Amino acid sequence: MCNQTNLENVPTAVHLFAFPGPGEAFLPRLRSVLLHTSAVTHAHWNPVRQGRFVLSCSGQAMYLWSEEWIGEGGAEEEMAECVGIPASAFNMPPYS
């Protein structure tokens, strides 16, 4: 018998916003939208380095986002990448 979990209420998109600092007008702005074909089941901000985010769709990969990428001409840019995990029992801890 196979147990199957229905994840139709779990999002496949993650919206990342930039919020203004203290003393600035409160006008959040959308920075990035990360779209996935599978449900996003785990997501964590890096507790040590601001501007770094990781998520998982319960597969054999981690998806990384960073605002620390330096593009051509030295301008800061956002970057997203997929890192495959070659482990048969890979699992990220749940949302914190």
Domain assignment of residue 14, yes or no: no
pLDDT in tens, 6-36: 556 778 899 999 899 999 999 999 989 999 9
Domain assignment of residue 22, yes or no: no
Containing structural domain, residue 78: 35-85
Domain assignment of residue 46, yes or no: yes
Domain assignment of residue 3, yes or no: no
* Residue that is written with structure tokens 């597969």 in the block: 59
* Residue that is written with structure tokens 């029992």 in the block: 89
Domain assignment of residue 77, yes or no: yes
pLDDT in tens, 41-63: 889 998 898 889 999 887 788 89
Q: What is the pLDDT of residue 49?
A: 87
Domains of the chain: total: 1
Tokens of 62: 């981690």
Q: What is the pTM of this model?
A: 0.70
Domain assignment of residue 10, yes or no: no
- DSSP state for residue 51 in the 8-state scheme: T
Domain assignment of residue 79, yes or no: yes
Domain assignment of residue 11, yes or no: no
Give residue 32's identity as a one-letter amino acid code: S
Tokens of 35: 């779209």
Give residue 57's identity as a one-letter amino acid code: C
Q: Where are the alpha helices (DSSP H) in 11-77?
A: none
